[in-house]
């Protein structure tokens, strides 16, 4: 018995996908490894020239005294907050209600470290200075995510960020940056990664998101902080005998793509404008502030999926591979621009959005 193909099935068959760098297959690792000498010695249990050179490289890029490579950002950030809480003698940290630690980590921070989160701001907006000034709780650390992924990758004004940083330093509150997509926001702020990180006591950066490596993260800060993080990394089981596939792919794709972040940012703004010219569709933010944004449709998921599947089959352009239902009766998806976008012929892309607008206009008027 044949089954109806899902939106993801039809999307995966399209030759032109607007988001990402490409398939996350074994070739991602093979391509990276081919650029290195096969006689290069691997790291062992967090030590060795291979891992230490990469850590030093990233510490310099981020403007921090020291850096440690972790297999995951989940591990790195829980450890960062644990260290700051222990140092401050305070088990409370503040972050956004849609922070990764709150909604994607099975309460790891609470269950493993017995740290109590204080949720700042409403879930549909950014944390601002006023939220920080009027906290009811004394906290050890404030975590800011730049960009705030779950609300479309929004960013605060840089002066607001500076004001929050200054207040935290005045009050002795540690400020941690969830910079999973740090390099993606450099073009918008027109600041270097080191300049942005100078506002924070510690910073985490991912190497599989915009950079496109296979996995891995860096945690950076003062040397005493990173040395303590190495102890916690061992306690968490993060010191695998070797992490070199993750390190080498992180290094390779960082060098390959960090200089393209400005291009991805401009392309995200172009793509968002295409969506915003369509009936019953809009990007969030209206003008993206990085290479990522959310696209919202006024129609419910069950009506949008057939429209998109027909569009993909007709034009060969894949816009999104999934849809989430929204509380207002519509649906949405996330888009992050990478290498793929530049390979789509402009006329093909324009045709796809012309078809999308026609289909949505017809549905809205019916």
* 20-49 tens-digit pLDDT: 999 999 999 999 999 999 999 999 999 999
Which structural domains are found in the chain, ordered by start?
Answer: 7-22+260-365 (3.90.1150.10), 43-241 (3.40.640.10)
pLDDT at 334: 98
Whole-structure pTM over 0.95, yes or no?
yes
Report yes or no: 117 and 81 within 8 Å, Cβ to Cβ.
no
Residues 174-209 have pLDDT tens digits of 999 999 999 999 999 999 999 999 999 999 999 999
Give the pairing of strands 141-145 and 174-178: parallel
* pLDDT > 60? residue 130: yes
- pLDDT, position 1: 54
pLDDT of residue 2: 60
Residue 94, beta-bridge partner list: 118, 142
Sequence-distant (≥ 6) Cβ neighbours of residue 24 within 8 angstroms? 214
Checking if the pLDDT of 240 tops 80, the result is: yes
Q: How far is CA 353 from CA 71, 159, 229, 260, 276, in A?
A: 40, 37, 48, 25, 10
pLDDT at 32: 96
């Amino acid at each position: 018995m044949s089954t109806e193909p899902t939106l993801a099935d039809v999307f995966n068959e399209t030759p032109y996908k607007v988001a990402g760098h490409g398939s996350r297959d074994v070739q991602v690792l093979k391509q990276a490894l081919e650029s290195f000498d096969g006689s290069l010695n691997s790291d062992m249990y967090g030590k060795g020239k291979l891992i230490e050179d990469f850590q030093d490289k990233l510490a310099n890029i981020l403007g921090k005294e020291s850096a440690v490579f972790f297999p995951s950002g989940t591990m790195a950030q829980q450890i960062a907050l644990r260290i700051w809480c222990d140092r401050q003698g305070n088990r409370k940290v503040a972050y956004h209600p849609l922070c990764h630690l709150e909604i994607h980590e099975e309460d790891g921070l609470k269950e493993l470290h017995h740290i109590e989160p204080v949720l700042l701001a409403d879930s549909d907006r950014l944390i601002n200075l006023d939220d920080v000034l009027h906290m009811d709780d004394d906290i050890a650390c404030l975590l800011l995510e730049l960009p705030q992924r779950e609300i479309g990758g929004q960013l605060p004004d840089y002066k607001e960020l500076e004001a929050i940083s200054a207040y935290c330093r005045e009050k002795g509150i540690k400020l941690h940056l969830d910079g999973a997509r740090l390099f993606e926001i450099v073009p918008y702020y027109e600041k270097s990664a080191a300049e942005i990180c100078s506002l924070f006591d510690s910073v985490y950066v991912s190497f599989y998101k915009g950079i496109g490596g296979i996995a891995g993260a860096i945690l950076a800060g003062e040397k005493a902080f990173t040395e303590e993080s190495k102890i916690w990394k061992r306690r968490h089981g993060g010191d695998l005998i070797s992490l070199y596939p993750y390190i080498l792919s992180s290094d390779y794709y960082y060098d390959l793509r960090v200089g393209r972040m400005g291009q991805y940012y401009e392309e995200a703004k172009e793509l968002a404008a295409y969506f915003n010219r369509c009936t019953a569709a809009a990007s969030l933010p209206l003008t993206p502030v990085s290479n990522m944004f959310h696209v919202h449709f006024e129609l419910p998921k069950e009506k949008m999926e057939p429209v998109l599947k027909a569009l993909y089959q007709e034009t060969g352009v894949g816009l999104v591979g999934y849809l989430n239902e929204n509380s207002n009766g519509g649906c949405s998806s996330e888009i992050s621009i990478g290498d793929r976008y530049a390979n789509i012929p402009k006329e093909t892309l324009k045709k796809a959005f012309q078809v999308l607008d026609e289909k949505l206009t017809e549905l809205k008027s019916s």
